[in-house]
Amino acid sequence: MKPVCFVMGAGAGIGGTVGRKFAREGYHAVLCRRSDEAGLNALVDIIKDEGGDATGFLMNAVDENAIEDRVAFVEKEIGPIEVVIYNLGAQIGDRVLADTSMRAFEMGWRLATFGLFRLAKTVCPLMEERGGGKILVTSATAAVRGNAGQHSHAAAMGGRRMLCQTLNAEFAPKGIHVAHILVDGAVDAPDTLGKMLGPELFKKLRETKGAEDGLLQPEKMAETYFHIASQHRSVWTHELDLRSYSDVAWWNHV
Amino acid sequence: MKPVCFVMGAGAGIGGTVGRKFAREGYHAVLCRRSDEAGLNALVDIIKDEGGDATGFLMNAVDENAIEDRVAFVEKEIGPIEVVIYNLGAQIGDRVLADTSMRAFEMGWRLATFGLFRLAKTVCPLMEERGGGKILVTSATAAVRGNAGQHSHAAAMGGRRMLCQTLNAEFAPKGIHVAHILVDGAVDAPDTLGKMLGPELFKKLRETKGAEDGLLQPEKMAETYFHIASQHRSVWTHELDLRSYSDVAWWNHV
Amino acid sequence: MKPVCFVMGAGAGIGGTVGRKFAREGYHAVLCRRSDEAGLNALVDIIKDEGGDATGFLMNAVDENAIEDRVAFVEKEIGPIEVVIYNLGAQIGDRVLADTSMRAFEMGWRLATFGLFRLAKTVCPLMEERGGGKILVTSATAAVRGNAGQHSHAAAMGGRRMLCQTLNAEFAPKGIHVAHILVDGAVDAPDTLGKMLGPELFKKLRETKGAEDGLLQPEKMAETYFHIASQHRSVWTHELDLRSYSDVAWWNHV
Amino acid sequence: MKPVCFVMGAGAGIGGTVGRKFAREGYHAVLCRRSDEAGLNALVDIIKDEGGDATGFLMNAVDENAIEDRVAFVEKEIGPIEVVIYNLGAQIGDRVLADTSMRAFEMGWRLATFGLFRLAKTVCPLMEERGGGKILVTSATAAVRGNAGQHSHAAAMGGRRMLCQTLNAEFAPKGIHVAHILVDGAVDAPDTLGKMLGPELFKKLRETKGAEDGLLQPEKMAETYFHIASQHRSVWTHELDLRSYSDVAWWNHV
């Protein structure tokens, strides 16, 4: 029975691509996403065509027990979860405070912060019992600095980063590697950036900035995700950043 | 009509003491706290005995519309809110993940993060219309680093800090001064530290560490809160820390 | 005999203005700067006209023993140094690496980092013996993030910030308050900004941005410097930032 | 002609081990260290026995032109420097300010900060002309927080970190990948930790903490160094940390 790489937020960008990489490396990729069953099935098929194992689930992570039940099912029916890719985002674009509803603010927290807490509560005891595991968390610039219009996103991601540190403090000595991967730039991802921009603009961006490697490429990001998951326990990375060579780092102005 | 200093979390520690300081400086102190009506009334009486103006309200900030309605009432009946002291804490002591319930985690967020968001949504439009205001947020070490057992507290305070930055980015140019005051140490506060330790231990701590100024003294903290609220708009402080001279800074090991 | 406020870098901006503030508050202001004897004398006269005490010295801080001898002289002839304002800057404008000479890089370090080390070595034992003192260090955005063209400045200020933390860790428990004051924006200072821009541009900037309080005003900054020096030892601030309400914080892009 | 991996600080810990890793991956390892010719030759022999290419040089990096001349020689006689491993440390153990000489403080800066500046001035134009290169900088906890007794080390490493950011800001768009690798813990390295502790204590530490993977293992660190050097230009990491699973992160107290 293969170990499982459990991906939350397995769209056609970081999540799905990282899942596919782990499938190639011998994991059973369990791919969860909220919608687009066709896209999910297509990704499962691609992985199987490559000789890998994958199972897809539609899951709305904010539903009561959705995460908890899915983990239980996977552990029982598919295999032990050795790696978690927590890839749920909460970016809703820039909105001034007046346009940020209480509902949107709460939803950001439910997806980005509370979901990771629930996942950790569910999976850490299992990993601890087995002597270890890896939880790789995709993060964003908003986790380290708030910017205008990012009320919901920054509060949610800032809480998430601190949660990663508390999880690391409690669970690293028990063999669970928690890593906070700060994605500082636009990702070449049709399901997130593509939807935010619309097909026209996204196509243009790919042909200009993307053609010069100015967009983070998910398949290249996956190499680093896999490396982090493979680090020997004497040399674990807890935090790292990723950005295109041509992008300005978040702490610099142009 | 005096300008109002609106204190959320006005116990017998930082909140109440800062409110009293602002009352001495000419503000009407509006003191809100969840419980202990006797303590609240006693504080109001002390302020009045000193010749100041104060009004106390019991308020459970997580109740629907509690913040929103209280702000509306105060603006209508007492005066314009010029200064907010957001002093709601979410420290529940160290708890391993297994002992941190989903309810406790959510409550931390409702008090520390969501409450500030609701407050800001309510009060910022009023301040903006009047050309300015001040929102001073008491924060904790957990806002800048997660530690073992601090899952709820760190996630809540980390989100709060990022929210302070997003509020600053949007509202500083509109004359609203948001300050994040990181309290890095134990405060000589009967309502928080005193309750966590119990009367015996708290008395002993005061007689030892406290006698040497090793506990932050609320009346001295209030001097800095008032200074920050008094800064000229060409020289605003957004973040500062406060700790006793004899304490080890959070970034240092003993 | 009045306590001394010893200012290194006492030009007509932050340094001189802070010195003047301390003179008004009862200190003997000892003003040291590298050049412009006329400006120095004028400032001393202004302070004396206000009824304060001040003495000016020309000093090239990088000269061997210049700092050490000046401290010894002041302690012997003028009074005990209770407060130090370390205000030597090392900004040389943006220069690409190829245009940053080894000499310029070293000079930045000698002014911004090594000078503070030498000052601390000289004055801390005296302060410690007297039970305390204050060292307020003017810092810059370059202390917390490197930006293009800031090779010399950022390396020097980054080292300075870490030095402030090591000094704080050793000397706070001994009663010496070290504060790192991050000035995040353009200061309305003829001797620094004025010289970098030239008289025309500086005049124009003052009439536009400055007229709207978009430049940090030294006399307003001095209020905060004095407040920090006055904090009770149970509530010391080690780090704070200062910027105009209308400026974008360093961690935000426009 | 193989590309060169140029290692400054190639002792029997991180530097030498990372050099050996790059030699295995097809680079000519140029190993520079200040002393221990026998150790240097032994390492060169090991690499050659493995079928790799290596050349060793004794070099005192603080000597005038030592770095500049060595780079020129290597580029002319051995091959183009594609990767630099800047591994010069400046840890001298904890010393109170009174025991930290001006000479020691300056030496820390010369090794940790100025040496990297000189190296960058020498090698960046060559890399830029060739379209790219990698500069991997070993760093320490002292780069992000000053601690008691670390006056020299923290000032030097803090300056170094800011220098890495300025170099990144200028040269990343030109294809030069600068990475700051924060080593947050004790490394199983006979030439540094071994010498600081002495043979008895070091042996004991290896048998206790080391046996449980509580010391960072250089050959495992080398995997991450090589991964960082291999990242696609659309996904570069500028900062990451490395620590043993069983160690407390620098931002946590025990």
**Higher pLDDT among residues D215 and A92, named by residue:** D215
Residues paired with residue B6 on neighbouring β-strands, in sequence order: B30, B84
Residue D81 pLDDT: 98
Chain B environment of D148 (Cβ under 8 Å): 252
Residue B224 pLDDT: 98
For residue A122, what are the domain limits?
4-189+217-241
pLDDT tens digits, A14-37: 999 999 999 999 999 999 999 999
> What tokens appear for D104 in the block?
């020691």
- Check which CATH number belongs to the domain holding C110 and give it: 3.40.50.720
D158–C161: do the CB atoms touch at under 8 Å?
yes
Report the C-alpha gap between C223 and C218 in whole angstroms. 9
Percent of chain C with pLDDT over 70: 100
Q: A84 pLDDT band (50/70/90 cuts)?
A: very high
Q: Smallest Cβ distance to A169: which of D223, D236, D252?
A: D252
List, as one string, the DSSP characters of A1-68.
-PPEEEEES-STTHHHHHHHHHHHTT-EEEEEESS-HHHHHHHHHHHHHTT-EEEEEE--TTSTTHHH
Query: A51 in the Ramachandran plot: left (φ > 0), alpha (ψ -120 to 50) or beta?
Result: left
Residue C254 in this model has a pLDDT that exceeds 70: no
Residue C149 lies in a domain: yes
Residue C109 lies in a domain: yes
Residue C252 lies in a domain: no
Residue D110 lies in a domain: yes
Residue B8 lies in a domain: yes
Residue C1 in this model has a pLDDT that exceeds 90: no
Residue D74 pLDDT: 98
Residue A253 in this model has a pLDDT that exceeds 80: no
Residue D61 pLDDT: 97
Residue B42 pLDDT: 97
Q: Smallest Cβ distance to A149: which of B121, B124, B170?
A: B170
Chain A environment of C250 (Cβ under 8 Å): 251, 253
Report the C-alpha gap between C240 and D253 in whole angstroms. 23
Q: Smallest Cβ distance to D148: which of B148, B250, B252?
A: B252
pLDDT tens digits, A130-171: 999 999 999 999 999 999 999 999 999 999 999 999 999 999
Residue D254 pLDDT: 64
Interface test with B, best of C128, C235, C251 (most B CBs within 10 A): C235
Chain B environment of D147 (Cβ under 8 Å): 251-253
Residues A219 and A17 sit within 8 Å (Cβ to Cβ)? yes
Report the C-alpha gap between B223 and C107 in whole angstroms. 39
pLDDT tens digits, B182-233: 999 999 998 888 988 999 999 999 999 999 999 999 999 999 999 999 999 9
C249–B175: do the CB atoms touch at under 8 Å?
no
Residue A179 lies in a domain: yes
Residue D196 pLDDT: 86
Report the C-alpha gap between A117 and A136 in whole angstroms. 13
pLDDT tens digits, C97-147: 999 999 999 999 999 999 999 999 999 999 999 999 999 999 999 999 999
A251–C251: do the CB atoms touch at under 8 Å?
yes
Q: Please enumerate residues of B whose Cβ is less than 8 A from a Cβ of A.
A: 96-98, 100, 102, 105-106, 109, 113-114, 117-118, 120-121, 124-125, 142-143, 145-151, 154-171
C146–D165: do the CB atoms touch at under 8 Å?
yes
Residues paired with residue D165 on neighbouring β-strands, in sequence order: none
Distances (CA, A) of C138 to B49, C61, C239: 42, 16, 11
Report the C-alpha gap between C155 and C218 in whole angstroms. 25
Q: A254 pLDDT band (50/70/90 cuts)?
A: low
B147–D252: do the CB atoms touch at under 8 Å?
yes
Residue B254 pLDDT: 63
Q: D190 pLDDT band (50/70/90 cuts)?
A: confident
To the nearest whole Å, the CA of C38 is away from the closest chain D CA by 33
Chains that touch D (3 or more CB pairs under 8 A): A, B, C
Find, in chain D, the residue whose alpha carbon is nearest to that of C105. D114
Q: Is A137 exposed, middle or buried (0-12, 13-18, 19+ CB in 10 A)?
A: buried
Residue D253 in this model has a pLDDT that exceeds 90: no
To the nearest whole Å, the CA of A52 is away from the closest chain B CA by 34
Chains that touch C (3 or more CB pairs under 8 A): A, B, D
Q: What is the mean pLDDT of residues D120-136?
A: 98
Report the C-alpha gap between D115 and C106 in whole angstroms. 11
Residue B209 lies in a domain: no
Distances (CA, A) of D94 to C166, D138, D147, D154, D200: 11, 20, 9, 11, 20
Find, in chain B, the residue whose alpha carbon is nearest to that of A65. B102
D254–B251: do the CB atoms touch at under 8 Å?
no
What beta strand segments (E) does chain B contain? Answer: 4-8, 28-33, 53-58, 81-86, 133-140, 176-183, 239-242
Chain D environment of C106 (Cβ under 8 Å): 114
Residue C80 in this model has a pLDDT that exceeds 80: yes
pLDDT tens digits, D8-18: 999 989 999 99
Residue A177: CB atoms within 10 A of its CB come to 23
Half-sphere exposure (Cβ direction) of B92: Cα atoms closer than 13 Å:
24
Q: B171 pLDDT band (50/70/90 cuts)?
A: very high
Q: Please enumerate residues of A whose Cβ is less than 8 A from a Cβ of D.
A: 165, 168-169, 172-173, 175, 177, 188, 213-217, 220-221, 223-224, 227, 230-246, 248-249, 251-252
Q: Smallest Cβ distance to C216: which of B234, B239, B252?
A: B234
To the nearest whole Å, the CA of B101 is away from the closest chain D CA by 23
Q: What is the mean pLDDT of residues D83-96?
A: 94
B133-140 and B81-86 beta bridge pairing: parallel
Q: How many domains does chain B have?
A: 1
Residue B236 in this model has a pLDDT that exceeds 80: yes
Q: What is the mean pLDDT of residues D35-39?
A: 96
Residue B208 lies in a domain: no
Q: Smallest Cβ distance to A145: which of C148, C251, C254?
A: C251
Residue C222: its H or E element: helix C218-230
Least confident of A186-195, B60-69, B170-179, D146-155: A186-195
Least confident of A250-254, B44-48, B113-117, B153-157: A250-254
Distances (CA, A) of C191 to A74, B216, C206: 68, 39, 14
Percent of chain A with pLDDT over 70: 100
